[in-house]
Amino acid sequence: MDIVVNEELKAYIDPLTTEEYEALESSILAEGCRDALVLWGDVLVDGHNRFGICRKHGLPFQTVQNTRFQSIDDVYLWMIDQHLGRRSISEFQRGVLALRKREIVNARRAEAAPAHPADHAQSADSAPAAPQPLATRESVAKAARLSSSQVVMIEKIQKQATPEVVAAVRAGTISINAAAAVASLPAEEQITAAAAGKDELKLAAKRVRESRRKPRSEPDAAVQPSAAESDLTVESLQQRVAALTAENAALRERVAVLQEQLRMAANSVDQTAALSAPF
């Protein structure tokens, strides 16, 4: 049978690097094509590199049909799951694939939601089990074996990074963290940094991080009042001191009056006692 190569399916997963392709070619030349190519009808789903190498060198290969595919989305989901299970792909690739899976799964579930519960009950037995939704970043992170913060950064790279920066993080030239920082820059600066190479990309990421740090406030400015506030404070204190001084003087006068009254009362008592004493 004639095998059809769908270019969209072929490009859906990041291609092998030159070194990876050469290693695969050497392995097939030495041991043959051990794994069967996966087909959906006559469309090649998995094994594009093996198929190309075998045709190039006239080597035999085997094929197997996946009869569970009902739509192109089934094919995409299967391809994503196959690659998410491999150890050779990078963290960035895993994150991108998991985000693609979220889009497909959630869109399909939204389209398949029945208008009436009775419709769902009638079709539940015949419909294939739907994949679990990836509604949260935590679920996406779990599918990709990443942290939630890494998923956030990958989303930012996809939305804001230029193709040059995306290519750099895909190639492992810079980390996900650095690429997310560079993605905050205007497109022109991203392109310039990527063209300058790895070191310039790292410096650009460092500049972005440093610009986000809050500048330290002057300690004196935080604690010292202004000149107007100082004058107001001194005037208030002076007024308070004057009021307390006047209050203290009044209390002293009151105490002096009370003492005089007590002295006069004591003298009166002594005189009365003296007059009443017997001779």
CATH, residue 63: 3.90.1530
Tell me the C-alpha to C-alpha distance, in Å, between residue 112 and each of 105, 116, 121. Answer: 10, 12, 13
Whether 22 is in a domain gets the answer: yes
In tens, the pLDDT along 15-25 reads 888 898 999 99
Mean pLDDT score of the chain, rounded to an integer? 84
Residues spanned by the domain of 56: 1-67
Whether 63 is in a domain gets the answer: yes
Q: Answer with the residue of higher pLDDT: 110 or 58.
A: 58
Whether 39 is in a domain gets the answer: yes
- Region 256-261 average pLDDT: 79
The pLDDT value recorded for residue 63 is 96
> Mean pLDDT highest for which of 28-32, 109-113, 229-233?
28-32
In SS3 terms, the chain reads as: CCCECCHHHHHHCCCCCHHHHHHHHHHHHHHCCCCCEEEECCEEEECHHHHHHHHHHCCCCCEEECCCCCCHHHHHHHHHHHHHCCCCCCHHHHHHHHHHHHHHHHHHHHHHCCCCHHHHHHHCCCCCCCCCCCCCHHHHHHHHCCCHHHHHHHHHHHHHCCHHHHHHHHCCCCCHHHHHHHCCCCHHHHHHHHHHCHHHHHHHHHHHHHHHCCCCCCHHHHHCCCHHHHHHHHHHHHHHHHHHHHHHHHHHHHHHHHHHHHHHHHHHHHHHHHHHCCC
Whether 59 is in a domain gets the answer: yes
Whether 169 is in a domain gets the answer: no
Whether 43 is in a domain gets the answer: yes
Count: domains in the chain? 1
Whether 7 is in a domain gets the answer: yes
The pLDDT value recorded for residue 39 is 96
Whether 205 is in a domain gets the answer: no
Flag whether pLDDT at 80 surpasses 90: yes
CA angle 182, 95, 76 (to 5 degrees): 130
The pLDDT value recorded for residue 164 is 95
The pLDDT value recorded for residue 124 is 47
What tokens were used for 162?
């230029």
Q: Answer with the residue of higher pLDDT: 237 or 143.
A: 143
Going by pLDDT thresholds of 50, 70 and 90, the confidence category of residue 108 is confident
